[in-house]
Structure 1
């Protein structure tokens, strides 16, 4: 804390400085000023928590200083020193927020008492200010969430409107007179690749930005509001209660605003005008249908209006119809056979004049089923991950920079993925007849035992030298490192259980010596077992919050 002593007489300032026990008050800086003018400059620059000022000073008096502090709402506590027992001075002190009025010559006990009262008063008010700031921050964070939840509830069940009406009208006065409404859906599913990469780990920021931009235009027209729909992970909902006939123009205006701000474009689906609030869900379903049925091969407007006679393609192309040809090509292990099989599928896709979101979802489902069958067929019970580069996106068919599906890029991804799978299949076939891989599997299954090279040599009827040499050649690491890595991986799972001691974990994975286990663990993971446990506990706590 800081204190400021204001008096035109230096001996008075020295007396106040000497009489007070500043350290016990928590005051580490004591400043001085000769008059009110100098004091004002110091207060603005240093922001002291306590000001002790004389009442009668040349140039600018203590009364002027009190008025200035109150006028500028400076958060400091003031104590008045005066050689005059004057009622008017006392009255002005109280009127302008002075905490105490002390007569000269200064009594040390009175000064100490006044300073302690001032310091404690300031601390209490500072805590209150901090609490107010925290509450304000929390409310600013909660308000958008509450608002989104409120509107999501209304969209899910219009029957809730009567119960929510007062709250909704308080936030959105335009709803008070609403008779009809219309829903627009802004979809993140088909956003351009650059935006997808930019906001890959900041999706909340993207939602916040899109909602703010949309509401900037809607608030200007006083015709609706945008919110995050909590039943969907990839939609911003725009609820319109005005400008319903011009909704397409409103969407175009918002789209241009988003493009200017984010340098990217998004798709909008528009439902038809419906009664408010009973028709909200129907208008929302129409907006989603418009998005699902739009032709992703076209580069026309990114705004699609629902048409009552618009239906999805009756003709559907199934990936499963080409599964066997691709599977045989993978079994062959030949790149030219894989390219031919994938090319046959892509040729059929290119023959389609229209590809919709619904079609992509169908292919995605079929691809996941096929993957599960292939892993079971090729690798039995072994866990093998088969992924396309684009599988982090909503659809397995990758989008180009403009947000259109890229059949060419999909062909490249699918071909390379199938070639990698064929390579894994060949490795598996080679492993099945190789005794070194049998030893590796034995280590994986019996890692908790006390294993020695001699025991393995006896088990597999081989020399220790042969096992040691071939193990390194085949797997790229020696057997001790291989076993240590397995044991450490298993121990990481056990460390997640806070009830298990480090020594118990060490014994469970084959180490009788806790210190040696910790040494091996730190060598491979860079941290000790105890540090790893604390880190994972912190991560789990953050995920929970």
Structure 2
């Protein structure tokens, strides 16, 4: 705490300095003023928490100072010291919250008691203020998560509009009597998402960025809300409750903003206009279906409207898929790579010639291929390569090349050694949990081996220290956040696993040769 002593009599100021045990209460600074005007200047510069003030002073007296303090620094504790018992002097101390009123000449015991009382009051109130601040910060962190959950339940039909309508209106600005609504969905998990690649596969961070971009566009017309969905197959949901007829234009505006900021376009499923609120669940279903049933071979347009009737040619394509899948299964059973590659080559030509290939068909195809390959190599992890070009559109050629690469890797055939699998699992665990407090002991307990074995095996298999790998991972995530967001450094340090911003800055500079601010500026 800091203290200000205001009195035009020097000996009074000296007496207060002499009698009060400042060190005992860890007082950081003691300042003096001879009148209210000087006191105001010191208050504005130093913000002391405790003020001792006389009542009769030149230029500005104690009553005026007390009124000014009450208006500008209401948490400050004031102790009035006066040579008068006149009620006109006592009254301002009462009105403006003085903690004590002492008469001159000063009694040392009374002075010490008054000072310690003021110190204690300020500390108790400051503790309450800090507790309230912490609770407010926690609520600010939890509130978006709460609304993500509530809105996800609303569009999925797991909670009724009537239960939420007043909160939705007060906090999110949703009108209570809107006539229509439309819903759009963006998925990061189905077909390729170039933006997800941009953020190194971090779904949480990518969703955070997308929601912010969507809401910036929506805010201009107060037309709806975007949120992160808890429902499968739709990571981002946009609920529109006004200017419903302009929904396609709004979605193009959102995609334009994403393109301008991050250089990619998203595929967006969009529902028909439905009654509000009765049709919210229907609109959500339509938007998801519009996205899932979009034609991946279509080169124009990224806004995919729900269609009531799907193409009748679907059965022909499904039959072709089944035929090729049987050929691949036979080739896999033979274990001959050239046979498998010939099937894939033939299949890619067939895919390129189809009039329609929906995302749901492609995902089902990849699932069935993975099951066939898993029977061939039970110990292997089946990951399909990217089959989308730089615009995020499906490419039969890239699908063929990815499949051949996968088959070549599997044909090499030797099961992965146990230690290699362990190190791979540790890496994946760190990739998903880098933001948490991560110690060697924690990792050892997580994987049921000793701390020494964790370090040794990780270094043997990967060629680098586990701590260096975790630091590199965190620094890469921090670079992404510095480059793509306007978050404060303190927020970024917490998001990548460092509670102390200064320590994060030292680690970042050691790793990159630049401070985080220098990196962001560059």
Question: TM-score normalised to the size of structure 2?
Answer: 0.73
Q: Per the alignment, in what secondary structure is the counterpart of residue 181 of structure 1?
A: strand
Is the aligned partner of 1:40 residue 2:45?
no
Cα distance in 1 between the residues matched to 2:272 and 2:453: 66
Partner of 2:332: 327
Partner of 2:501: none
Unpaired segments ≥5 residues, structure 1: 377-383, 429-439, 444-490, 507-517, 527-531, 533-541
Contact persistence 1:158–1:278 (CA under 8 A): no
Moved more, 88-97 or 203-212: 203-212
Contact persistence 2:244–2:273 (CA under 8 A): yes
Offset, 1:320:
2.1
Q: Per the alignment, in what secondary structure is the counterpart of residue 226 of structure 1?
A: strand
Partner of 2:108: 108
Offset, 1:326:
4.5
Alignment of 1:242-321 (within 5 A): 242-311=242-311, 313-314=314-315, 315-316=317-318, 317-318=321-322, 320-321=325-326
Cα distance in 1 between the residues matched to 2:408 and 2:287: 40
Offset, 1:208:
3.2
- Once the two structures are superposed, what CA deviation does each residue of 1:292-343 show, in whole Å capped at 9, x if it has no partner? 12122233111111222334722122452332465367x446xx66654542
Cα distance in 2 between the residues matched to 1:201 and 1:130: 37
Select which of 390, 407, 411 maps to 2:400.
411
Cα distance in 2 between the residues matched to 1:97 and 1:103: 17
- Once the two structures are superposed, what CA deviation does each residue of 1:107-129 show, in whole Å capped at 9, x if it has no partner? 11111111111111111211221
Partner of 1:352: 354
Q: Per the alignment, in what secondary structure is the counterpart of residue 231 of structure 1?
A: coil
Larger Rg: 1
Contact persistence 2:4–2:51 (CA under 8 A): yes
Select which of 389, 400, 424 maps to 1:400.
389
Is the aligned partner of 1:363 residue 2:365?
yes
Structure 2 CA distance for partners of 1:386 and 1:148, relative to 1, 3 Å: closer
Q: Per the alignment, in what secondary structure is the counterpart of residue 106 of structure 2?
A: coil
Contact persistence 1:192–1:400 (CA under 8 A): no
Cα distance in 1 between the residues matched to 2:391 and 2:455: 47
Partner of 2:410: 421
Partner of 2:433: none
Offset, 1:36:
2.8
Contact persistence 2:179–2:276 (CA under 8 A): yes
Q: Per the alignment, in what secondary structure is the counterpart of residue 266 of structure 1?
A: coil
Moved more, 63-72 or 89-98: 63-72
Partner of 1:128: 128
Cα distance in 2 between the residues matched to 1:522 and 1:296: 46
Offset, 1:493:
11
Contact persistence 2:183–2:270 (CA under 8 A): yes
Contact persistence 1:191–1:266 (CA under 8 A): no
Contact persistence 1:322–1:345 (CA under 8 A): no
Cα distance in 2 between the residues matched to 1:187 and 1:46: 53
Alignment of 1:427-506 (within 5 A): 496=445
Structure 2 CA distance for partners of 1:362 and 1:132, relative to 1, 3 Å: same
- Once the two structures are superposed, what CA deviation does each residue of 1:266-307 show, in whole Å capped at 9, x if it has no partner? 122111122233322222222112111212223311111122
Structure 2 CA distance for partners of 1:229 and 1:181, relative to 1, 3 Å: same
Is the aligned partner of 1:386 residue 2:381?
yes
The alignment yields a C-alpha RMSD, in angstroms, of 3.6
- Once the two structures are superposed, what CA deviation does each residue of 1:331-357 show, in whole Å capped at 9, x if it has no partner? 446xx6665454233233323233221
Alignment of 1:514-525 (within 5 A): none
Structure 2 CA distance for partners of 1:181 and 1:412, relative to 1, 3 Å: same
Q: Per the alignment, in what secondary structure is the counterpart of residue 101 of structure 1?
A: strand
Cα distance in 2 between the residues matched to 1:37 and 1:191: 69
Contact persistence 2:102–2:111 (CA under 8 A): yes
Moved more, 206-215 or 41-50: 206-215
Question: TM-score normalised to the size of structure 1?
Answer: 0.70
Offset, 1:77:
0.9
Offset, 1:525:
6.6
